[in-house]
Amino acid sequence: SRGTPRIANRLLKRIRDFAQVRSNGIIDLDITRYGLNALEVDEKGLDRVDRNLLYCIINKFGGGPVGLETLAASTGEEADTIEDVYEPFLMQLGFIQKTPRGRKATNLAYRHLNIEPDHPEQISIID
């Protein structure tokens, strides 16, 4: 939920919908996992766009650094949306780091996505 009540409520409503259809309206751990998986929200709370941003930094730009406008053009997301919505959460989790030259994926991001860094010495160490 990114620590945002509005997002938490939206996810809860969607899980409730899954429970109505699949579980006689009962929300338990299994239906919650099922629903979050269907909504493409992983165990850290990342959604499809979060992961797409990380994959882009890692796969298209060698882990970074990459500028905001370049990242926006490469992902099809608005630069303001990346900066205001996605970036703070990814930074809070320690998955990206802002540098004067742009955004870089951290070791935590590589690990979370099960990707081996090409140049581990160039990736910041945030554990």
Considering the domain architecture, whether residues 33 and 52 belong to the same structural domain is answered as no
**What tens digit of pLDDT does each residue of 68-103 get?**
999 999 999 999 999 999 999 999 999 999 999 999
Taking alpha carbons only, the member of 66, 63, 127, 86 closest to residue 4 is 86
Residue 119: predicted pLDDT: 67
Considering the domain architecture, whether residues 34 and 52 belong to the same structural domain is answered as no
Domain membership of residue 127 (yes or no) is no
Domain membership of residue 43 (yes or no) is no
Considering the domain architecture, whether residues 13 and 63 belong to the same structural domain is answered as no
Considering the domain architecture, whether residues 23 and 81 belong to the same structural domain is answered as no
Block mean pLDDT (10 aa), the chain, length 127: 84 94 92 94 92 96 94 95 94 94 95 84 50
Asked whether the beta carbons of 39 and 31 are under 8 A apart, the reply is no
Q: How many Cβ atoms from other residues are within 10 Å of residue 42's Cβ?
A: 14
How many structural domains compose the chain? 2
Residues 6+ apart with CB under 8 A from 66: 56, 57, 60, 74, 102, 103, 104
Residue 7: predicted pLDDT: 87
Taking alpha carbons only, the member of 99, 98, 104 closest to residue 57 is 104
Residues 6+ apart with CB under 8 A from 62: 118, 119
Residue 27: predicted pLDDT: 94
Considering the domain architecture, whether residues 34 and 58 belong to the same structural domain is answered as no
Q: Which domain holds residue 60?
A: 48-122
Q: In percent, how much of the chain has pLDDT > 90?
A: 80
Residue 120: predicted pLDDT: 57
The amino acid occupying position 124 is S
